[in-house]
Chain A
């Protein structure tokens, strides 16, 4: 059964989003550790360079990578590829772990009345996973440098608009409009 599941996706298509969605689904059904290590080998280095950027702390970044990858493994049964791409799911979990850490909250302390969740479980209608990585890459390449930079600083350095404004010596209003324009261009590519 394991072999059948692992044969299901083509190993030379590591760039395709469906490849990793199917891989994670295979992990969910088979709980096969070797299959999960393939997923790990693809995403752990990427996750690490992202977390290194937002935490500026190599030890902490590595710790969060491991914690995230272990959570993904344990919760893989809840992954649904019709709702989100594996990379989106992974990004959310890593972001939650990182933000929780920033706020010095242990997720295990959820009983604490200070940390009620205000968001409903999930949006009723999902954007789904209608993008392919190649098209997003093209769209990123076509961004004016300043827009690519503010996007990079938002995602990969975890900086607020004000911090970006200070860094780049730009008025706050220009930072916000650059982020807005870049978001609007990139999100067009998400449409099916």
Chain B
């Protein structure tokens, strides 16, 4: 799979800092699975995170924000130090070697980033599963709303040659292509690609090819459709 469209650098930085809404986080994780270039970028943002951890005081004085945590002097021992020293004393490293294989799973606990992948998405990542319970919105467009913390994630299945009504969004919109393809003002999107739209961009994607386009869409604000007919769609698609 050759990937040509990537999330914005700003999106990747927020993924690394852990500050994306869960819907966006899951979508970015899907792309990372296929994109070495973005994995490296996230790696760099994590290095910056580590460096900032070391430079917290300095950053706080640079930003001059009232909300900035007024940091205590970092040379004063942390309040939980004594409790931690006790924890450490009780910690028996040998126990680690005795755990049975069922607990071996824990080996990577904390070291590997995990995501709560909704089941229909998991099935689509494995194969193009025809048995999913799609809900028809209008002729040619079906969707499955996915369960996430912010409720902003859904799968969409769009028939070939279908034009999605012209819309803008107040917030962010990320689209990840799983199967098929579509084109909009920004180019042609194929499996693995992500379209990362700034607010206020007006776009009108058209599915091309002979297959339906199946994509994952994360939004943080209702879409705004233009024109009379699309307005009829609003209650079905809007959040």
The residues of A that contact B109 with a CB separation of less than 8 Å are 71, 107-108, 110
A90-B175 Cα distance, complex, nearest whole Å = 31
Contact of B80 among A65, A99, A125 (CB under 8 A): A65
Chain A positions 127-163 with a Cβ under 8 Å from a chain B Cβ: 127, 129, 131, 133, 136-137, 140-141, 143, 145, 148-149, 151-162
Count of chain A to chain B residue pairs whose CB atoms are closer than 8 Å in the complex: 299
CB distance from A19 to the nearest CB of B (A): 11
Q: How far is the CA of A138 from the CA of B110 in the complex (A)?
A: 31
- Assess whether B93 is in contact with A93, with CB atoms less than 8 Å apart: no
For chain A, the count of residues having a C-beta within 8 Å of the partner chain is 105
B176 to A: closest C-beta gap in Å:
11
The complex places the Cα of A64 from the Cα of B14 at a distance, in Å, of 20
A185 to B142, CA, bound (A): 42
Give the complex CA separation of A115 and B89 in angstroms: 33
A94 to B54, CA, bound (A): 14
On whether the beta carbons of B10 and A183 are closer than 8 Å, the reply is: yes
Query: How far, in whole Å, are A87 and B85 apart by their CA atoms in the complex?
Result: 21
Give Cα A153 to B76, complex, Å.
Answer: 25
Chain A residues with Cβ under 8 A from B58's Cβ? 137, 140-141
With a cutoff of 8 Å between Cβ atoms, the chain A residues found around residue B149 in the complex are 102-103
- Chain B residues lying within 8 Å of A53, measured Cβ to Cβ, are 68-69
Interface residues of A in 25-42 (CB under 8 A from B): 31, 33, 36-37, 40-41
Whether A119 pairs with B53 at a CB distance below 8 angstroms is: no
Contacts of B59 in A (CB 8 A): 140, 148, 151-152, 156
Known: A50-B56, A148-B59, A162-B171. A66 touches B118 (CB 8 A): no
Taking chain A's interface residues, is the majority helix, strand, or loop, or is none over half, making it mixed? helix
The smallest C-beta distance from B226 to any residue of chain A, in angstroms, reads 19
Contact of A120 among B33, B72, B89 (CB under 8 A): B33
**How many B residues, CB 8 Å from partner?**
90
A1 interfacial by beta-carbon distance below 8 Å: no
Near A by CB (< 8 A), chain B positions 175-231 give: 198-200, 220-221
Considering only residues 72-100 of chain A, those with a C-beta below 8 Å from chain B are 73-75, 78, 84-100
- Chain B, residues 53-90, CB within 8 Å of chain A (1/0): the string is 11110111011110111011010111111011101110
CB-based contact A62/B47 at 8 Å: no
Interface residues in chain A, defined as those with a beta carbon under 8 Å from any beta carbon in chain B: 15, 17, 31, 33, 36-37, 40-41, 43-50, 52-54, 62, 65-66, 68-71, 73-75, 78, 84-100, 102-103, 105, 107-108, 110-111, 113-121, 123-127, 129, 131, 133, 136-137, 140-141, 143, 145, 148-149, 151-162, 167, 171-173, 175-177, 179-180, 183-184, 186-187, 190
Which B residues are closer than 8 A to A by beta carbons? 8-14, 16-22, 24-25, 29-30, 32-33, 36, 39-41, 43-56, 58-60, 62-65, 67-69, 71-72, 74, 76-81, 83-85, 87-89, 91, 93, 96, 105-106, 109-119, 122, 125, 149, 170-172, 198-200, 220-221
Q: A148-B59, A177-B10 are in contact. List 14 more A-B contacts (CB 8 A).
A: A33-B88, A40-B84, A46-B56, A47-B53, A75-B111, A95-B18, A114-B117, A137-B58, A152-B68, A155-B52, A160-B14, A160-B20, A162-B221, A179-B13
Question: Can you list 29 residue pairs at the A/B interface with Cβ under 8 Å?
Answer: A15-B54, A17-B54, A45-B74, A48-B78, A52-B69, A53-B69, A62-B79, A71-B110, A87-B51, A98-B18, A100-B114, A103-B116, A105-B116, A111-B105, A113-B119, A117-B114, A119-B29, A119-B112, A155-B49, A156-B69, A157-B67, A158-B17, A158-B19, A162-B220, A172-B170, A179-B10, A179-B14, A180-B8, A187-B41
